[in-house]
């Protein structure tokens, strides 16, 4: 029983990363209709930034947790204005290729400066212990990640659901043309929303630094699964991406724990789920069929 | 077909020329060298996962060997025209195959060095056999290089899965604990390592109470289900043996520390680790971990002096792969010097059975039967952070494993 609870907990922690990344992808896709392939690269930059801040300027984890999302959000906004914006009117494939190219550039820039070897990053001392839950104990850092991510998702949810800004973003995400027709300037929200999505990826990166290998390819490995998560949740669906993120984390953890004799199954379960969902609900679990243009 | 006939004819001609020369190496008979020069080829990973532990710095190491060779022989050197060609094989067997052919055929390379990644290493062995040119493998671990894929022109120089498993598996079983849980990446290298380790552990009186193949590549980066499982097995394992390498090893060790398995009585043994891995994880994350090393830069005065020179060239301390590339280049040049020709068959004859002591090879011997290069290996333990005296001084050597014990007996699968 305690083993099952531990694996469940782990699944939720793994899912927290998927949820943060998928949430950013979802708001970006909703607002801009851009499939941002560079999302994994920004996740990597978040982790690398935390490492560089610590190693070269002595900036601790907590400060990095604030600095990196802000800095990367800003970088995202600059990129949106400078390049992505110019291609949004064209076929989405153009921006997909553009962001894929950006990924390669960002990865290679980091590679040429820091090499491919993983960089060291220790868990902050205050979080390096374990928490005793009675039936089982669990690393404090993982408990922190889970709590922090859940809080963050709730906060995003609240902003989108209860504030005027959120109302505009939701409206523009789901029915951009109609929102424009009401006289709302959708365009001015595009850049900040892109920046926000990127900031979430950067935040996930900082959170990952103490428990994952920090190297230029860390995002490239993860992003494929995150795309599957977004598709399962429903492209552009904010709730769907978070729910699917945690769900896929759980399925992966249970798969690895109880199907470890069948590594092929635990490795591919995410994509099997994705295929099944696409057959059953082509728009994803929480997505809506788009009206033909 | 026509090409290989041509190569065969050329080598036959070279043998005749060498045979008729008779003037000895000092007479400066440049006509005995193909193209009047010696070309060494370093074929390895220069942009990916293994580029730090070998990569371009191995090219530097080979250049250092050439400089030292020229300084040693001066005007008596068989030639002063020695150069290095290099290429990135991206750890892909097909790229390694075509680059190796290009090196031998068009770049005039006499001997290829390094070639990490077992699948790529085996392809290059086939090319060396076909072209009848020398090949010193340093970077790859598979014992097939001296087993079913062995051939007359291929030498396996630095280490292999048997050496790693025998050293770490045997000593850890005797000194740390008899019950093991093995976690390995589920592909050729990992499976090979798991088998070698299981055999060594059982032979030392231990048992493998559990083993799991983790997905490879592990896209989620998560190993927690395996790490949670380890302490709950019955009987409880005293040692977690991880066969992951590079970034995956970093993930396993970070999470091993997160779940505090050492405090739960499960020690850590690592199948394959390079000094560059300890550098990325920091010695604090690995303190107390044992593994088998082929060479350590701070082992003695000789190593240290070379490591200082290497650091001047590259800005970093050498891994065992760097030292082995230096040594292999040097031994090849010495063999050409002694033979007075770079004809492959003559050089091979000179190398077979040769006993060597140099920077990398201690009590070294080039075994004629399968071309396994035997040398002392070392059981190393990562120091606690407090004992690290200077950057990169990360391990202490617990035990020297004598050359005669470090490697397996010649395999029956090897037919030269």
E strand or H helix at B228, and its extent?
A: helix B224-229
B276: distance to nearest CA of chain A, Å? 7
User: Where are the strands (E) in chain A, listed by range?
Assistant: 130-132, 137-139
Establish if A163 touches chain B: CB-CB under 8 angstroms: no
Q: What is residue A71's predicted lDDT score, i.e. its pLDDT? A: 98
Distance CA A257, CA A77 (A): 41
Q: What is residue A235's predicted lDDT score, i.e. its pLDDT? A: 82
The reply to whether B126 falls in a domain is yes
Global pTM reads 0.81
Residues of B in contact with A14 (CB under 8 A): 220, 222, 224
Q: Are residues B276 and B213 in the same domain?
A: yes
- Chain B CA closest to residue A141: B258
Helix, strand, coil percent values for chain A (each to nearest 5): 75, 5, 20
The reply to whether B248 falls in a domain is yes
Measured N-to-C along each axis, helices B2-21 and B344-351 cross at an angle, to the nearest 10 degrees, of 60
Q: Return the structure tokens found at A154.
A: 């709730």
Contacting A with CB below 8 Å, chain B residues are 47-49, 51-53, 186, 212-215, 217, 219-222, 224-226, 228-229, 232, 246-248, 250-251, 254-255, 257-260, 276-277, 279-282, 284-285
Residues of A in contact with B49 (CB under 8 A): 116
Residue A202 Ramachandran class (φ > 0 left, ψ -120 to 50 alpha, else beta): alpha
Q: Are residues B246 and B333 in the same domain?
A: no
Q: Are residues B202 and B78 in the same domain?
A: no
Backbone angles phi, psi at B155, to 5 degrees: -120, 135
Q: Are residues B81 and B130 in the same domain?
A: yes
pLDDT tens by residue, chain B, 416 residues: 444 444 544 444 444 444 443 334 444 444 578 888 999 999 999 887 788 889 999 999 999 999 999 999 999 999 999 999 999 998 889 999 999 999 999 999 999 999 998 889 999 999 999 999 999 999 999 999 999 999 999 999 999 999 999 999 998 999 889 999 999 998 878 888 999 999 999 999 999 999 999 887 777 788 988 998 899 898 999 999 999 988 889 899 999 999 999 999 999 999 999 998 898 888 988 998 989 999 999 999 999 999 999 999 999 999 999 999 999 999 999 999 999 999 999 999 999 999 999 999 999 999 999 999 999 999 999 999 899 989 999 999 999 999 999 999 999 999 98
Q: Are residues B233 and B329 in the same domain?
A: no
CATH number of the domain that residue B274 is part of: 3.40.50.2300
Q: Are residues B120 and B227 in the same domain?
A: no
Q: Are residues B146 and B201 in the same domain?
A: no
The reply to whether B12 falls in a domain is no
Q: Are residues B189 and B264 in the same domain?
A: yes
The number of domains in chain B is: 2
What is the domain extent for residue B278? 162-293+378-406
Here the ipTM equals: 0.81
Measured in whole angstroms, the distance separating CA A86 from the mean position of its chain's CA atoms is 24
Q: What is residue A290's predicted lDDT score, i.e. its pLDDT? A: 57
Interchain CB distance below 8 Å, B222 and A218: no
A35: distance to nearest CA of chain B, Å? 20
- Omega within 30 of 0 (cis) for the link into B235: yes
Q: Are residues B245 and B150 in the same domain?
A: no
Distance CA A73, CA A192 (A): 8
The reply to whether B13 falls in a domain is no
Q: Are residues B262 and B400 in the same domain?
A: yes
Burial letters for B305-322: b for 16+ Cβ neighbours within 10 Å, e otherwise? ebbebbeeeeebbbbbbb
Q: Are residues B148 and B172 in the same domain?
A: no
The reply to whether B18 falls in a domain is no
Residue B124: DSSP 8-state: H
Q: Are residues B107 and B179 in the same domain?
A: no
- Cβ atoms A136, B231 nearer than 8 A: no
B397: distance to nearest CA of chain A, Å? 24
The domains located in chain A, with CATH, are 7-114+126-280 (1.10.3470)
B336: distance to nearest CA of chain A, Å? 36
Higher pLDDT, B135 or A173: B135
């Amino acid at each position: 029983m305690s083993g099952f609870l531990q694996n469940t907990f782990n699944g939720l922690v793994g899912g927290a990363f998927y949820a943060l990344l998928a949430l950013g992808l979802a708001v970006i896709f909703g607002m801009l209709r851009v499939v941002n392939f560079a999302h994994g690269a920004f996740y990597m930059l978040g982790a690398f930034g935390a490492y560089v801040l610590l190693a070269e300027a002595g900036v601790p984890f907590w400060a990095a947790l604030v600095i990196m999302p802000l800095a990367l959000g800003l970088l995202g906004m600059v990129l949106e204005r400078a390049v992505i914006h110019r291609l949004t009117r064209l076929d989405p494939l153009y921006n997909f290729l553009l962001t894929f190219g950006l990924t390669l550039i960002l990865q290679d820039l980091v590679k040429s400066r820091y090499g491919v070897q993983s960089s060291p990053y220790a868990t902050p001392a205050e979080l390096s212990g374990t928490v005793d839950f009675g039936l089982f104990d669990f690393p404090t850092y993982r408990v922190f990640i889970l709590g922090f991510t859940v809080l963050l998702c709730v906060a995003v949810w609240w902003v989108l659901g209860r504030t005027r800004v959120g109302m505009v973003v939701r409206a523009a995400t789901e029915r951009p043309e109609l929102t424009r027709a009401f006289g709302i300037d959708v365009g001015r929200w595009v850049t900040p929303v892109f920046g926000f999505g990127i900031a979430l990826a950067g935040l996930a990166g900082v959170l990952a630094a103490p428990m994952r290998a920090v190297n230029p390819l860390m995002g490239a490995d993860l992003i494929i699964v995150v795309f599957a998560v977004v598709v399962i949740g429903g492209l552009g669906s904010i709730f769907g991406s978070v729910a699917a993120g945690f769900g896929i984390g759980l399925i992966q953890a249970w798969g690895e724990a109880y199907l470890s004799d069948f590594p092929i199954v635990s490795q591919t379960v995410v994509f099997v789920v994705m295929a099944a969902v696409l057959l059953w609900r082509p728009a994803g679990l929480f997505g809506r069929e788009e009206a033909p243009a | 077909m026509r090409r290989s006939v041509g190569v065969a004819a050329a080598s036959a001609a070279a043998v005749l020329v060498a045979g008729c020369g008779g003037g000895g190496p000092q007479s400066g008979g440049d006509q005995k060298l193909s193209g009047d020069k010696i070309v060494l080829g370093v074929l390895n990973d220069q942009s990916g996962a293994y580029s730090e532990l070998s990569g371009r710095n191995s090219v530097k190491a080979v250049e250092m060997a050439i400089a030292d060779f020229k300084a040693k022989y001066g005007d008596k050197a068989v030639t002063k025209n020695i150069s290095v060609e290099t290429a990135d094989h991206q750890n892909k067997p097909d790229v390694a195959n075509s680059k190796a052919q290009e090196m031998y055929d068009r770049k005039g390379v006499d001997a290829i060095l390094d070639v990490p990644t077992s699948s790529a290493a085996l392809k290059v062995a086939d090319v060396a056999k076909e072209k009848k040119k020398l090949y010193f493998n340093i970077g790859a671990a598979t014992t097939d290089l001296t087993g079913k894929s062995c051939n007359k022109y291929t030498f396996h120089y630095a280490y292999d899965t048997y050496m790693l498993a025998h050293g770490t598996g045997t000593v850890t079983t005797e000194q740390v604990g008899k019950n093991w849980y093995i976690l390995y990446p589920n592909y050729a290298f990992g499976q090979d390592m798991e088998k070698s380790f299981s055999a060594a552990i059982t032979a030392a009186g231990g048992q493998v109470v559990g083993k799991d193949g983790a997905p490879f590549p592990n896209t989620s980066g998560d190993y927690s289900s395996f790490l949670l499982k380890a302490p709950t097995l019955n009987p409880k394992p005293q040692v977690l043996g991880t066969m992951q390498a590079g970034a995956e090893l970093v993930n396993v060790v970070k999470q091993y520390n997160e779940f505090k398995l050492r405090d739960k009585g499960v020690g850590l043994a690592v199948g394959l680790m390079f000094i560059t891995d300890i550098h990325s994880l920091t010695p604090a994350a690995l303190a107390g971990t044992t593994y088998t090393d082929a060479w350590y830069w701070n082992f003695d005065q000789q190593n240290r002096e070379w490591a200082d020179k290497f650091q001047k060239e590259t800005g970093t301390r050498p891994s065992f792969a760097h030292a082995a590339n230096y040594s292999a280049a040097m031994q090849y040049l010495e063999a050409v010097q002694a033979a007075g020709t770079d004809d492959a068959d003559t050089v091979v004859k000179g190398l077979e059975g040769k006993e060597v002591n140099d920077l990398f090879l201690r009590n070294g011997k080039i075994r004629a039967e399968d071309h396994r290069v035997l040398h002392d290996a070392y059981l190393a333990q990562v120091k606690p952070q407090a004992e690290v005296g200077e950057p990169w001084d990360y391990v202490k050597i617990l035990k020297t494993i004598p050359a005669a014990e470090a490697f397996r007996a010649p395999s029956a699968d090897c037919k030269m």
